[in-house]
Amino acid sequence: MAANNLFPFRRRDADDFEQRVGPHVDDLYRLAYRLTGNRHDAEDLVQELLLRLFDRRRKLREIAELRPWLARSLYNLYIDTLRAHRRTPFASLDGESETRLEHLPDTHNPEYDDLDAPLQAALERLNENQRSLILFHDVEGYTLPELSQILAQPIGTLKSRLHRARARLRELLREKAVEPFASHRRVNG
């Protein structure tokens, strides 16, 4: 048996895959980290995406704008994983419930955890759609046309949802800023 028949792909395919997707891996990890809230789930999500993409590596050559396409693929995988997790909660071997994929950071990664604590706390209180939209647009810097492609929604809809998400975030940040003062007044007042 020839050595070429031992592997289902040629080295050139792997090199091409690495050249096309490799420059985006750090961005994908950062986005996955922001979505999941912890390093382990982010790593799992990116690894699963890369495995799936490698099987479709020839299709990647046909994609003109790879960055938003990869972000959409990652986001779709995240949503699918989140839904599956909600349907079948995982119990660890020691009998304790697993809390991963629930936006509770287990390990802070200083490289990607650059949001200040009040902002991070307010983001965690947003609903999933609002949080994702703000993370994609305001934190990760995706444009509205890219978001339209990633989230499969018209730009006008995204503008209004982004406006509402920012308004809700401002409201949550104001609540947080007033809370310590309000509790202090109640104790002394």
Q: Which domains does the chain have, with CATH numbers?
A: 9-114 (no CATH), 115-189 (1.10.10.10)
The pLDDT assigned to 43 comes to 94
Distance of CA 116 to the CA centre of its chain: 18
89 has which bridge partners? none
Question: Measured between alpha carbons, how far is residue 29 from residues 32, 49, 118, 153, 164 in Å?
Answer: 5, 11, 23, 24, 27
The pLDDT assigned to 3 comes to 43
How much of the chain, in percent, has pLDDT values that exceed 70?
71
Of 88 and 55, more confident: 55
State the pLDDT confidence band at 114, using cuts at 50, 70 and 90: low
Cα separation of 152 and 61, whole Å? 21
Does the pLDDT of residue 65 top 60, yes or no? yes
Of 31 and 108, more confident: 31
Contact 130, 168 (CB under 8 A): yes
State the pLDDT confidence band at 115, using cuts at 50, 70 and 90: low
- Residues 6 or more apart whose CB falls under 8 angstroms from that of 49 comprise 28, 70, 73, 74, 77
Question: Measured between alpha carbons, how far is residue 74 from residues 63, 117, 172, 178, 184 in Å?
Answer: 15, 25, 28, 37, 44
- Output DSSP code: residue 4: G
Please list the alpha-helical segments (H only) found in the chain.
11-21, 25-36, 39-55, 57-60, 66-87, 117-125, 128-134, 144-151, 155-188
Does the pLDDT of residue 104 top 60, yes or no? no
